[in-house]
């Protein structure tokens, strides 16, 4: 829940900044009588700021297009009190720089250069009909060309600083979040290891019960049925032996049912396949190129399969983050087209967050979970040296209980 609220609060930062930008300009210009001609310009810049997190490409386009249209006199040009509206360029490139899209982060640099040049042109270059420009506001005697270069460099410099700050903040946030995720994953791994040890103990007890008590009850049933056949169809001895056989058969059925319950994961599983997209989204928030693909129509799964599939995906993505880094790519594939659920997690990366200090227990834990659900799991290197592939198969059906060994 904390991670969900933190992610949503980050997404709301840009819309709040855009709304604040619009309100401040309305308040600042309300008494000057110059707001009417700049309503569209200010609204466009406010929209660019508000969409910087959700639609960064659109935001960059707006901060380039609006000054360009002003330079072409298709939109109201800035005045001596409204030219600070170009602060929106710095705000947008800063927000885009802090975003998780690496391509758009670098595209913001040429975008801010073009936007700065267009904004400077709109501010500095006069026309025959409009001499109200930067030179008349500041009393500059350097000439239009000198003022154009100076203003372009000033806007571009301020925007570059904002972009660099945004990149630094975004990188620090992602690194911090990655560390938190690793710590949480290690704690979850410890809990999972404890759960697996308990499940292994239950499985061992179940095998012991099956090998001893179930076998003994089967012998009792066989002997009672044989003795009842030898003693004849009537008589108290035959009736007693048939009762013994019937009770033993019922007890044998109860023992088998109990063994199945012990080797399962219980009647309820708190997390399942429905939560896999959230796991993938968490990895994307860290900067990882993660995605999930589904083939075929989902079939019915029991709690054992549902819980095992979720834990396998969770542990696989955690291993990708730890051993291949935040810049890794991960593809989760769910294939329902066979007799069960095929699950493949393919990852590529070479920037581990933690150094390997041993074989670890992650793959062994996933393999044990798959086995307890009645399936199997394989993990190993792929065709590429930096590729790792986890492949699992889990049975599907209305029951979803574990298969006895």
281 contact partners, CB below 8 Å, separation of at least 6:
none
Average pLDDT score over residue span 30-43:
71
What is the pLDDT confidence band of residue 252, given thresholds at 50, 70 and 90? low
What is the pLDDT confidence band of residue 269, given thresholds at 50, 70 and 90? very low
What is the pLDDT confidence band of residue 163, given thresholds at 50, 70 and 90? very high
Other C-beta atoms lying within 10 Å of the C-beta of residue 5 = 9
Position 403 scores a pLDDT of 37
The tokens of 120 are what?
């400077």
379 pLDDT higher than 70:
yes
Is 190 exposed, middle or buried, given 0-12, 13-18 or 19+ CB atoms closer than 10 A?
exposed
**Taking the alpha carbons of 292, 296, 301, 304 in that order, is the dihedral positive or negative?**
negative
Q: What is this structure's pTM?
A: 0.56
Position 400 scores a pLDDT of 41
Q: What is the pLDDT of residues 344-378, one digit of tens each?
A: 999 998 877 666 655 566 788 889 889 988 899 99
What is the pLDDT confidence band of residue 404, given thresholds at 50, 70 and 90? very low
Position 405 scores a pLDDT of 34
Other C-beta atoms lying within 10 Å of the C-beta of residue 233 = 9
Phi and psi torsions of 340, nearest 5°: -150, -160
Beta 329-335 vs 289-295: how paired, if at all? Answer: parallel
Beta-strand ranges (E) seen in 38-114 are none
Q: What is the pLDDT of residues 276-327, one digit of tens each?
A: 998 888 888 777 899 999 999 888 888 888 889 998 998 899 888 888 888 8
Other C-beta atoms lying within 10 Å of the C-beta of residue 146 = 13
The tokens of 138 are what?
């500041």
Q: What is the pLDDT of residues 190-218, one digit of tens each?
A: 888 888 888 777 777 766 666 666 667 66
Highest mean pLDDT among 12-16, 255-259, 358-362: 12-16
Per-domain boundaries in the chain: 2-182, 194-263, 273-395
Class of domain 273-395: alpha beta
């Amino acid at each position: 829940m904390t991670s969900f609220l933190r992610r949503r609060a980050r997404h709301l930062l840009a819309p709040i900044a855009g709304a604040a930008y619009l309100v401040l300009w309305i308040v600042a210009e309300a008494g000057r009588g110059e707001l009417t001609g700049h309503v569209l310009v200010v609204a466009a810049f406010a929209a660019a700021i508000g969409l910087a997190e959700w639609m960064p490409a659109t935001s960059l386009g707006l901060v380039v297009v609006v000054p360009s249209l002003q330079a072409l006199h298709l939109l109201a040009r800035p005045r001596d009190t409204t030219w600070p509206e170009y602060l929106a360029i710095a705000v947008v490139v800063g927000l885009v720089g802090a975003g998780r899209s690496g391509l758009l982060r670098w595209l913001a640099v040429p975008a801010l250069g073009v936007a700065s040049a267009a904004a400077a042109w709109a501010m500095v270059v006069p026309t025959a009909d409009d001499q109200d420009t930067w030179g008349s506001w500041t009393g500059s005697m350097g000439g239009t060309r000198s003022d154009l270069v100076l203003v372009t460099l000033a806007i571009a410099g301020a925007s570059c600083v904002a972009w660099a700050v945004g990149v630094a903040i975004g990188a620090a946030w992602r690194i911090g979040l990655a560390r938190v995720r690793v710590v949480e994953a290690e704690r979850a791994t410890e809990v999972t290891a404890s759960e697996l040890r308990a499940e292994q103990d239950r499985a061992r007890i179940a095998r012991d019960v099956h090998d001893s008590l179930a076998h003994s009850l089967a012998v009792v049933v066989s002997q009672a049925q044989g003795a009842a056949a030898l003693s004849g169809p009537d008589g108290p001895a035959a009736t007693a032996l048939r009762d013994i056989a019937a009770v033993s058969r019922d007890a044998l059925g109860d023992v088998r049912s109990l063994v199945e319950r012990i080797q399962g994961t219980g009647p309820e599983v708190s997390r399942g396949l429905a939560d896999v997209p959230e796991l993938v989204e968490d990895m994307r928030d860290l900067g990882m190129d993660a995605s999930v693909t589904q083939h075929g129509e989902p079939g019915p799964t029991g709690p054992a399969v549902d819980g095992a599939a979720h834990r396998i995906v969770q542990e696989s993505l955690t291993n990708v983050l730890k051993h291949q880094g935040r810049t890794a790519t991960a593809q989760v594939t769910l294939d329902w087209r066979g007799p069960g659920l095929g699950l493949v997690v393919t990852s590529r990366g070479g920037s581990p967050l933690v150094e390997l200090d041993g074989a670890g227990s992650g793959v062994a834990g996933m393999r044990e979970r798959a086995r307890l659900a009645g399936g199997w799991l394989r993990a190993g290197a792929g065709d590429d040296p930096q590729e790792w592939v986890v492949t699992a198969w889990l049975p599907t059906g209305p029951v979803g209980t574990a298969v006895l060994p």
